[in-house]
Amino acid sequence: MTDRALAVVRAGALTTVQDRGRPGHAHLGVPRSGALDAPAAALANRLVGNPPDAAVLETTLNGCAVRPRSPVTVAVTGAPCPVTVDGRPVAWGAPVRLSAGAVLDVGPATLGVRGYVAVSGGIAVEPVLGSRSTDLLSGLGPPPLTDGAVLPLGRVVGPHARVDLAPQPAPPAELVLRVTLGPRDDWFTRAAVRMFTSRVYRVSAASNRIGLRTEGPALQRALPGELPSEGVVLGAVQVPPDGRPVVFLADHPTTGGYPVLAVVRDTDLPAAAQAVPGTPVRFVAVRRR
């Protein structure tokens, strides 16, 4: 195998390969997927001089450790965490040069949930439907990382715009999600809709890349029965039978049979990727743009 490769020393709780995803295939039942915190992934790529669509590693909670087979530049963004090279602390949120055989260890998140590790040249696993992203729902793309796995790296091309340091937003102490009501808000009582946009929910520990689940007051329906399955979009707020809203994220199903009460603005979704269980959630109704 070429020396342009990355060996996985410690895979972590859930580390996947992600890029901008594979939009445009919902009619085939294929979710968009891609990095949940897209701005953090894009920044990591920029820090190492990659094009913005290069694939990165997305870590969950406890990071990962990798060893390159050739000299590379790396950067870690997203959830703040300790970062070391061969046991020595290095900068988080800045480019770091690694020699061949050095171990980059991305530690547990001190705030937030998901970290992003960019490597110069990008993660060059085989693309599926135009994307290298791991999709946990459909199973497309490479499987989540395992200890001992080896990932190919792309060749460094450029020059691309690069920065040495950039400000990054902190994970939210309170998650405020702007929503446009509909298309099925008429399936709920007026009191339930008012409750949805006025009460505080909390992020559930059952949340994942498919959806952010909430804990809080149950929303009462105005209409009984079941809704025929229909298409759903990124950011859709679906309400299952327990009455607790679920915000669909990157690996969401493309159709669903529970009513969609509202849709979250896409610019608010990166913050949802970093909201730890227990984080307060407020849904704020805004007008259609």
pLDDT, tens digit (0-9, with 9 covering 90-100), for 188-228: 999 999 999 999 999 999 999 999 999 999 999 999 888 89
Q: How far apart (Å, rounded) are the C-alpha atoms in residues 35 and 79?
A: 13
Burial class (CB in 10 A: 0-12, 13-18, 19+), 66: buried
pLDDT of residue 18: 98
Q: How far apart (Å, rounded) are the C-alpha atoms in residues 153 and 172?
A: 33
Burial class (CB in 10 A: 0-12, 13-18, 19+), 133: buried
Does 289 score more than 70 pLDDT?
Answer: no
Q: Give the pLDDT band of residue 58 (cuts 50, 70, 90).
A: very high
pLDDT of residue 226: 84
pLDDT of residue 2: 62
CA distances from 12 to 98, 129, 138, 159, 205 (A): 20, 27, 22, 32, 18
pLDDT of residue 287: 85
The mean of the pLDDT values for the chain is 94
Could you tell me the CATH superfamily of domain 175-285? Cyclophilin-like (2.40.100.10)
The bridge status of strand 280-285 relative to strand 175-181 is parallel
Does 10 score more than 50 pLDDT?
Answer: yes
| Domain residue spans of the chain | 5-152, 175-285
pLDDT of residue 115: 98
pLDDT digits (tens, 9 = 90+) for 254-279: 999 999 999 999 999 999 999 999 99
Does 83 score more than 90 pLDDT?
Answer: yes
Mean pLDDT value across residues 38-61: 96
3-state secondary structure the chain: CCCCEEEEEECCCCCEEECCCCCCCHHHCCCCCCCCCHHHHHHHHHHHCCCCCCCEEEEECCCEEEEECCCEEEEEEECCCCEEECCEEECCCCCEEECCCCCEEECCCCCCCEEEEEECCCECCCCECCECCCCCCCCCCCCCCCCCCEEEECCCCCCCCCCCCCCCCCCCCCEEEEEEECCCHHHECHHHHHHHCCCCEEECCCCCCCEEEEECCCCCECCCCCCCCEECCCCEEECCCCCCCEEECCCCCCEECCCEEEEECHHHHHHHHCCCCCCEEEEEECCCC
Residues sharing a CB contact under 8 Å with residue 270, sequence separation 6 or more, in sequence order: 36, 37, 38, 39, 40
pLDDT of residue 161: 62
Q: Give the pLDDT band of residue 126 (cuts 50, 70, 90).
A: very high
Q: Model-level pTM? A: 0.94
Give the bridge partners for 203, in sequence order.
214
Mean pLDDT value across residues 111-125: 97
Q: Give the pLDDT band of residue 1 (cuts 50, 70, 90).
A: very low
The percent of residues in the chain predicted with pLDDT above 90, rounded, is 88
Q: Give the pLDDT band of residue 159 (cuts 50, 70, 90).
A: low
Tokens of 150: 């080896």
